[in-house]
Amino acid sequence: MKILVTAKRVEDPESKIKVKPDGTGIVQEGLKYKINPFDEIGVEEGLRLVAKHQGEVVVVSIGGKEVQEQLRHALAMGAHRAVWVNHTGPLDQLAIAGLLQKVTEKEKPDLVILGKQSIDDDQNQVGQYLAEFLGWGQATFASKVESLESEQEKNKVPAVTLTADGKAVRVVREVDNGLATLECQLPAVVTTDLRLNQPRYASLPGIMKAKSKPIEELTPAKLGVDVTPAIQVLKLSSPPARKAGIKVPDVAALVDKLHNEAKVV
């Protein structure tokens, strides 16, 4: 199996995001960057599938040279090689999906696995755009029935499974009020939800090996994609702050507040 996975560079989800006073962006100072957590789950799932069925995991990222850090992270986890689409400046989901479409057509994987959303934009769009652009099937929000503390998880069993004839994947999806199961003919696009797996840590030998793994450099121009954004971000602002609350000494005081002040019970 050949699997293409994505590795977007995003702000560390634990970091405090502050908007610049003029609303033109976020304060970059002191921020740490990581691979998008949902993408990391995608890398892990790709590695598990390849461990079971043989093949290759190719990781792709789009951005300036700093995204090589995220590519090296995925390579250290065990991905075989990397594709870097070198571009600085804003990109919207149409452009990103357009670039990924070209990379996919070039690499011809059986499966593309992406995070369901990136934790900066929170758009939750690229996988679906990509599937439509390619004319492929899609299974978004891939999850599994077993918990992250199950035996299957400890044994790193892939949750995305190949059908007996090897021509399709079976994916359990997290949807409203339950779990839906789909079977997608290969090639297909899968996007990951949180509970698909627990990504592995990169081992020291893995980190050493990653240094010599190849990173191929491409550009939007080389791929023939116009990346002029169709989404203009006019202004960023902070959400209205909640007014400071109070601590109450006991349950009787709480019920009194809820009944007489907030009037919600």
Partner 1 sequence: MPIVLIVAEQQPDGNLRKASLNAISAGKQLADKAGAELHLVLLGKEPAKVADELKGSGAKAVHLGAAAELEHYLAETYAPAIAALAQELKADYVGMASTAQGKDLMPRVAARLKSAMATDITAINGSGADVTFTRPMWAGNVFAEVKLTTPVKVFTVRATEFAAAAGGQGAAEVKTFAPKVEASKTKFVEFKEVKSARPELTEARVVISGGRGTKGDFKEIEALADELGAAVGASRAVCDAGWVPNDLQVGQTGKVVAPALYIAAGISGAIQHLAGMKSSKTIVAINKDAEAPIFQVADYGIVADLFKVLPELRQELAKLK
Q: What burial letters (b/e) apply to 192-224, b meaning 16+ CB within 10 Å? A: bbebbbebbebeeebeeebeebebeebebeebe
CB 15 within 8 A of CB 124: no
| 29, 176, 211, 226: which one binds partner 1 (CB under 8 A) | 176
Q: Which of 75, 172 has the CB closer to partner 1?
A: 172
DSSP-assigned letters across all residues of 79-103:
--EEEEEE--S---HHHHHHHHHHH
Tokens of 91: 């990109």
Specify the residue, 178 or 205, whose C-beta has the smaller distance to partner 1: 178
- The least CB distance from residue 141 to partner 1, in Å, is 7
CB of 85 to partner 1, least distance (A): 19
Indicate the residue among 32 and 247 with the shorter CB distance to partner 1.
Answer: 247
Which residue's CB is nearer to partner 1, number 100 or number 223? 100
Question: What is residue 216's three-state secondary structure?
Answer: strand
Tell me: does residue 214 bind partner 1 (CB under 8 A). no
Q: Write out the binding residues for partner 1, residues 34-53 only, by CB under 8 A.
A: none
**Residue list 132-171, contact with partner 1 (CB under 8 A):** 132-133, 136-141, 143, 146-150, 168, 170
Give the footprint of partner 1 on residues 2-21 (CB under 8 A): 11, 13-14, 16-17, 19
Among 28, 185, 203, 219, binds partner 1 (CB under 8 A): 185
Binding-site size for partner 1 (CB under 8 A) equals 84
**Which residue number, 133 or 213, has a Cβ lying nearer to partner 1?**
133
User: Nearer Cβ to partner 1, position 50 or 97?
Assistant: 97
Report the C-alpha gap between 108 and 110 in whole angstroms: 7
Q: Provide the sign of the torsion angle of the four alpha carbons 118, 121, 123, 127, taken in this order.
A: negative
Q: Does 242 bind partner 1 (CB under 8 A)?
A: yes
Determine contact, residues 137/131, Cβ cutoff 8 Å.
yes
Shortest Å distance, C-beta 135 to partner 1: 8
Nearer to partner 1, 8 or 72 (CB): 8
* Paired strand residues for 34: 10
Window 78 to 137, contacts with partner 1 (CB under 8 A): 92-94, 97, 117, 119-129, 131-133, 136-137
Tell me the torsion sign for CA atoms 160, 129, 193, 178.
negative
The reply on whether position 236 binds partner 1 by CB under 8 A is: yes
Q: In whole angstroms, what is the distance from residue 155 CA to residue 198 CA? A: 11
Amino acid at 231: I
